[in-house]
Structure formats: C-alpha cells, structure tokens
Amino acid sequence: MSGICGNGSEGAESIVVSGGYEDDEDYGDEIIYTGAGGNDPNSKRQIADQTVDQPGNAGLVTSQTNGIPVRVVRGSGGDPVHSPAVGLRYDGLYRVSDHWSEDGKRGFRVWRYRLQRLDSDEETPYLPPENLPPGRQAPGQSRGVTTRILRLTEVSRAVKAIHKSTCQVCGLRLGVPGGSVIEGGHIRALGSPHKGPDTPDNVLCLCPNHHALFDQGGITLSDDLRIRDFEGKDLGALRTSPKHVISIDHVRYHRGLWLN
C-alpha cells in the first residue's frame, strides 16, 4: 500500500502522489509528502503512528542524505491543480531537501518529507550502481533562481565566539591553516514549516558532524540539556556558557520532530 518504492540502503526510487494521505501538500514544484504506514486505505485517515524504519520512509531519508533524486508520479486522486485528470503521470525528478515527524491531522505520528523539483537535465535518476559510473571530466554549470532564508551572520558569529569555536556537543576544535571550522546550527529550523527565529537562544555552536546529526535527528537534547542519540542513549551534557542562554522551548520543538 506504500506509495514509496525504495528502502533505507538504496534510497527511494519513486513516489506516487495521489491523495492517499490527507496530510500531503502539493504545491507543484514543492511537495510536502507524508511517509508510509498507519493509514486506513478506505477512509484515508491515519489510524496508527508511522515509523521512520518503514522501508519506504527510510528510503526517502537515504535519498536526502545521499542526494538521490526521486521520480515523482502524480495520480488523479491528488491535488486537482497539479494532478492529471485521469490515471497516472510521470512528473520528473525531485530532491528530498528536508524531513521531520509531527502529529498528523488525526493525532497520530506521521513522517513528512519536503521534495523540490530538479531541472530536467541536471540529474540522473536512481540506478543501483553495478560498476563505478564514468562521471564527467568537465562538469557543466546551471543558472537558476533560488530562494533562500537570510541568516544574520552576526548571530552565529557571537555564539561561536562565546564557545571559542569549539563544538558544544563534543568539545572539538577543528583546526585548519589560519583558522578553524565551526558552524552555527539553528535548534528550531528557520523557514517553513518550522519558522524558528534567527536569535542567539536558537543557535548552537557545532562541528559539521554534530550539526548534521542534530539537523537530521541523530541527536536531540533533553530539557536539562543532556545529549541523547536517537536510540535514547545519554551522550553526556551539552557544553554551555552563562553568556549564551538556550531556549528550552526550541529544544522541545526540535526534540518533538524526532521523538514521540
């Protein structure tokens, strides 16, 4: 019954968007897609929690983390503006740019994936690699109009300065010639649908590994700022500073994206 073809080790090859989940949102070039599982196919209503370990759901996670494009097929049961009048239609390649979990319209946990349309000629679809692909000696360039959220570098800079460019999770400082590598990561993500603020109490000073893990739910924080991995194991206390107050509301919002 899943509209997702794929699995966690190889990624998702394709999805069908046909109104099977009442939580789906179809904006044409962008789709907020509901993961598989827990749905009553007759009423289209959620009757149980979804899990990210379901093969199709894990496939879409792997498509995001590995940058594997997903074929999108729309069916006539979907959004009337963007769907075919009858049958199914292949609508090109999309990338998975974000995912999280939330309570669906019926109060059960659903996994949500943001898919964004790719230019038709810029990507190759999913193919299991049997041999190494040849690649390209001279990669081309693409020009496109993009929308991005404006982050104030002064906010991240100030937070990084307080923590002396060391990661608040692991304490590492990654030295490079002339400087160091460190990132400011937002606890409650900026932009729709999370709409977090670009304020110091919503920013952590993180190494790239812990930034990526935090953004994808590999680690979460408890209300007393203990670090937990996604299997619940306690990894110790977040490194904090009295000069940098962290919003527990935002910590709870982030944790709510990944844990029931």
Would you call the peptide bond into 200 cis, given omega within 30 degrees of 0 as the criterion? no
SS3 category, 125:
coil
Segment contacting a second copy (CB under 8 A): 15-23, 72-80, 83-91, 142-150?
142-150
Per CB under 8 A, the list member of 48, 161, 171, 235 interacting with a second copy is 161
Closest CB 132 distance from a second copy, rounded Å: 4
Nearer to a second copy (CB atom), residue 48 or residue 181? 181
Q: 162: closest CA among 226, 246, 252? A: 246
Per CB under 8 A, the list member of 75, 230, 252, 253 interacting with a second copy is 230
CA distance 223 to 236: 13
Closest CB 25 distance from a second copy, rounded Å: 19
Per CB under 8 A, the list member of 62, 83, 166, 168 interacting with a second copy is 62
- Hey, CA dihedral for 6, 116, 34, 231, is it positive or negative? positive
Closest CB 80 distance from a second copy, rounded Å: 28
Give the contacts of 131 (CB within 8 A, at least 6 positions apart). none
Segment contacting a second copy (CB under 8 A): 24-32, 37-45, 74-82, 160-168?
160-168
Of 84-113, binders to a second copy (CB under 8 A) are none
Nearer to a second copy (CB atom), residue 49 or residue 123? 123
CA distance 219 to 215: 8
Nearer to a second copy (CB atom), residue 21 or residue 126? 126
The two tokens of residue 181 are: 């590598």
Q: 182: closest CA among 101, 239, 252? A: 239
The two tokens of residue 184 are: 């400011």
Nearer to a second copy (CB atom), residue 87 or residue 129? 129
Closest CB 213 distance from a second copy, rounded Å: 6
Count of residues engaged in binding a second copy, rule: CB under 8 A: 84
Of 197-226, binders to a second copy (CB under 8 A) are 197-200, 202, 207-209, 211-213, 216-218
The amino acid occupying position 160 is: K
Cβ atoms of residues 167 and 175 within 8 Å: no
